[in-house]
Structure 1
């Protein structure tokens, strides 16, 4: 099922978290609550009124939390590759050979305010805009962003697939993100078969065993040295649920994480 191009999302859970790797760029405006994004390089916190532009293929973890009794509500505008290519071609704009990988934090601007104010009435009718209206709003968003900061072309106008990266450097930075091996391969510019082959050459181990060990060592450090609770650590260490984390931890270390 294809994701809508313009939609509003509301998360009422105490803590909602998922790995973040977008197949296309997205503009996100926080209406209420708190959003946290963790990448290999930085930790970000965003609140009501903040607007961010997320690049495609940036690996991270997104958490949405309620704040001051309000759920985390965000409006998203998704820029599909074919729409961006069409826009850059029709307007005879050069696309970027360089990729601004980091997300962009956008300051307050009258044009951004006008864009999101114009979207809000539609969400009283549905959670997503109809396709024909969404197409107009997506193009408006592109034009607004390019007026605010021409550097967005580095992010929006980049259509190349990931090139072959140094596998060891990438994995040491990103092992705590819970992704399928196919995604790790894609992000390092490899097929799954080549990724596994290169991984064994580099580490003399399978990716699965290595990832589990690294994540457990990180969790052990966070609990024993940073005095964090297992329930606070397991997601950050790359595990999907607390029970699986506790089982793997005890199997590896011989004692439960709670005993620390």
Structure 2
């Protein structure tokens, strides 16, 4: 079963997922503010993982790539309200304030637990998802501006994220790929995140790693999975998603082809 998503505006949505698991890799074009109503989400980002449950509120900055794994929990579906904080809306907001944009980049997800101000703002949206008529844009704008104002009130450093409108510049390829290889993204996205066109990314990659991106990525993911199973005592079913594989059978096939034995051989050897 896929997500059921109900938009009251293009920037405000309610998502519901009732199956066992949903996994995706996402490169966010806009900042995303999320409040969990029920369920559980694991977010993996450049070697760091976060676990969010019912009541948690967090902000994922734009131009960040993350792996998201959603689960129902305690008999309840995975259910969340999400709000996009778009660049255009933030430009208009900050144009009226004496805040200078700063060149500030972060690879972290901002956690706000169940902050009462943010909870009140996001929870107030839930009744609107049952409306039959169109949701007034004026109210939507007010709610988003309220959320931005609350974020700035409870975290004085958030301006460094929200008021930064830069696009990714050309960055070190080795450092980026070593910390982002587990993301199953199109090569165009890897190019964008490293400040390169697809052709430039492919050329620089071959020159840097002496291999094609596809071959290098597969090898890195398998080596990562091998390490997690052998050294951290994890089971294959706990590893394959985090390593960037879509299903367990494909992971086992690729693992055996590369190492000469199936992942469970490592488990038995322990």
Unaligned runs of 5+ in 2: 1-6
Give the one of 218, 222, 235 matched to 2:224: 218
Q: CA deviation at 1:113?
A: 2.8
1:113: which partner in 2?
Answer: 119
Give the one of 48, 52, 56 matched to 2:58: 52
Residues 139-150 of structure 1 mapped to structure 2, 5 A cutoff? 139-150=145-156
After superposition, the Cα gap between the structure-2 partners of 1:134 and 1:192, relative to the gap in structure 1 and judged at 3 Å, is same
Alignment check: 8 A CA contact 2:36 2:57 kept: yes
Q: CA deviation at 1:223?
A: 3.1
After superposition, the Cα gap between the structure-2 partners of 1:113 and 1:213, relative to the gap in structure 1 and judged at 3 Å, is closer
How far apart are the structure 2 equivalents of 1:241 and 1:133? 42
How far apart are the structure 2 equivalents of 1:185 and 1:87? 30
How far apart are the structure 2 equivalents of 1:113 and 1:224? 42
Alignment check: 8 A CA contact 2:182 2:243 kept: yes
How far apart are the structure 2 equivalents of 1:178 and 1:70? 28
1:211-241 CA distance string (max 9 Å, x none): 1111112222333444433333221111122
How far apart are the structure 1 equivalents of 2:176 and 2:262? 30
After superposition, the Cα gap between the structure-2 partners of 1:219 and 1:110, relative to the gap in structure 1 and judged at 3 Å, is closer
Unaligned runs of 5+ in 1: none
| RMSD over equivalenced CA pairs, Å | 2.2
Moved more, 177-186 or 97-106: 97-106
2:186: which partner in 1?
Answer: 180
TM-score by length of 2: 0.87
- Secondary structure of residue in 1 paired with 2:41: strand
Q: Does 1:104 align with 2:110?
A: yes
After superposition, the Cα gap between the structure-2 partners of 1:71 and 1:129, relative to the gap in structure 1 and judged at 3 Å, is farther
After superposition, the Cα gap between the structure-2 partners of 1:109 and 1:209, relative to the gap in structure 1 and judged at 3 Å, is closer
Q: CA deviation at 1:259?
A: 4.2
After superposition, the Cα gap between the structure-2 partners of 1:225 and 1:151, relative to the gap in structure 1 and judged at 3 Å, is closer
Q: CA deviation at 1:4?
A: 2.2
2:199: which partner in 1?
Answer: 193
TM-score by length of 1: 0.90
Alignment check: 8 A CA contact 1:7 1:129 kept: no
Q: Does 1:241 align with 2:228?
A: no
The alignment of Structure 1 onto Structure 2 pairs a total of residues equal to: 258
How far apart are the structure 1 equivalents of 2:210 and 2:90? 42
